[in-house]
Amino acid sequence: MPFGTFPLNDGKKIPAIAFGTGSIYKRVDVTRYVQQAIDAGFSHIDTAQWYETEKYVGDVIRDSGLDRSDLYITTKYGIGDVQETIRSSLSNLGLTYVDLYLIHQPAYVPDVDAVWREFEIIQKDGLVKTIGVSNFTLEQLQSLVQKANIWPAVNQIEFHPYNYAKNKALVEWSTKHGIITEAYSSLSSITKFPGGPVDVPVAAAAARLGISPTQVLLSWVRAKGAVIVTTTSNKGRLNEYLAVGDLPPLSDTDIAAIDEAGAMGPPTPF
């Protein structure tokens, strides 16, 4: 079945795959790439204050001719006054609200609890539909929810086979408590750490299923119940990513083999 949506703990839904505009695109004109993604079939676009790509995303939204309800827009709070920052982001995007607003990085937020209280206010004011976090550890997430009136709906983290063992408890706790994990850098085992243990089970699954290693890794993310956040400047790869939504799920054996290989760690030069 094609990529659908995940239900969120606030009653809303989030598309199961997003096109990201961070990474290599920070401070880069991403207009063409975002347009390609929307043309290919992506409805969920992920940006951030720190990426400095919001204006380009806004240009594409304006020129797309699509209804606002046809798009799901995520942006992220970096630093500064929350009210000022969200209004700046909305101005950049040319929108009256964003679908998802995340605390980008807790390490740069002196008082996470105070910022979260402001998040709760801007959600009630209708400036954002859903609120969440990014790059939170299990301990940071547990600390936040102890004082929160509204729990985060999402935690966006770096997530791939080589850090799955480290993040397993976080993801399982989040799932148990209705917090969706969003996964970025999920292709790292073949883009950043080629030649490592994960290559073997990924290649075996790809050969047996007649799909690409990239599609195996994205299917692995789906199997973990996470939203995929990925990116590319290549039109063909956009279609490759979206085709994962029509693939049958990996077998339990495939998933276990990738998990076990990932736990061995990425290759090192020594």
Per residue in 192-221, pLDDT tens?
A: 999 999 999 999 999 999 999 999 999 999
- Going residue by residue through the chain (270 aa), what tens digit of pLDDT does each one get? 479 999 999 999 999 999 999 876 667 899 999 999 999 999 999 999 999 999 999 999 999 999 999 999 999 999 999 999 999 999 999 999 999 999 999 999 999 999 999 999 999 999 999 999 999 999 999 999 999 999 999 999 999 999 999 999 999 999 999 999 999 999 999 999 999 999 999 999 999 999 999 999 999 999 999 999 999 999 999 999 999 999 999 999 999 999 999 999 998 654
DSSP 248: P
Give exposure, 235-255, as e/b (b: 16+ Cβ within 10 Å). Answer: eebbebbbebbebeebeeebb
**From the centroid of its chain, how far is CA 237?**
17
Measured distance between the N- and C-terminal CA atoms of the chain, rounded to whole angstroms: 43
Q: Furthest-apart CA pair in the chain: how many Å? A: 54
Q: At what angle do helices 213-223 and 235-243 cross, to 10 degrees?
A: 40
Phi, psi for residue 90 in degrees, rounded to 5: -65, -40
Residues 6+ apart with CB under 8 A from 80: none
DSSP 228-246: EEE--S-HHHHHHHHHGGG
User: What token pair was written down for 86?
Assistant: 């969200």
The answer to the question of whether 177 is labelled as a binding residue is no
Domains for the chain: give ranges and CATH numbers.
Answer: 13-158 (3.20.20.100)
Q: Which among 234, 260, 228 is positioned nearest to 247, based on CA atoms? A: 228
List the catalytic residues: 51
The CA angle 239-240-246, to the nearest 5 degrees, is 90
pTM of this prediction? 0.95
Strand 44-46 and strand 5-7: pairing? unpaired
